[in-house]
Amino acid sequence: MEIRVGLGHDTHRLAPGRALVVGGVRVSDEFGPVGHSDGDVLLHALTDALLGAAGLGDIGQWFPDTDPQWSQADSSLFVAEAVRELGDRGWRVVNLDSTVLAERPKIGPYRDEIRSRLAELLSIAPDAVNVKAKTGEQVGPIGRGEAIAADAVVLIRKGS
Ligand code: MG
């Protein structure tokens, strides 16, 4: 059996009057990301972690933000595509650990829903998915509520 680890990070600026989607779950209609797709930081970090684990580059190479086909795209598509590319190469996801950093809105109440959605996208059990929520302690762009960020780590395996 071969195993690999992958790391992903993403940050988006927040602005009023936009929908905020985190891990495929809509968590606010008041403050949302400025981005080309739906701006889902957690799914972007996860996509990078998946691609990174398999040595397949990064999200910007696969889904350029200059490509109009990804404008307002549902970021679940990026994860699904990455999972498919890994599957084509014999890789299966073992688990995901992640952290969402946001001062507002609070992500905690949506944690279970996000976890279920991520498990579904990765075709793994919910107990193989972890979502941690942290604030920015009122320091820096995240702490001032100007940005949201996410980190993701995945383990993938090939063979038995
Ligand atoms: Mg992004």
73 CA from centroid of ligand 1 (Å)? 11
Q: Which amino acid is at 145?
A: G
pLDDT in tens, 14-42: 988 888 999 999 998 887 888 778 899 99
* Cα of 75 from ligand 1 centre, angstroms: 9
How do residues 9-20 score in pLDDT, each as one tens digit? 999 999 888 889
CA of 2 to the centre of ligand 1 (A): 29
Compute the distance from residue 90 Cα to the ligand 1 centre, in Å. Answer: 27
**How far away, in angstroms, is 128 Cα from ligand 1 center?**
24
CA 1–ligand 1 middle distance (angstroms): 32
pTM > 0.75:
yes
Higher pLDDT, 28 or 151: 151
Separation CA 24–CA 79 (nearest Å): 10
Alpha helix segments (H runs only) across 1-160: 41-53, 59-62, 76-88, 111-122, 140-143
Residue written as token pair 């595509």: 81
Sign of torsion over alpha carbons 120, 121, 127, 130: negative
Ligand 1 centroid to residue 99 C-alpha, Å? 15
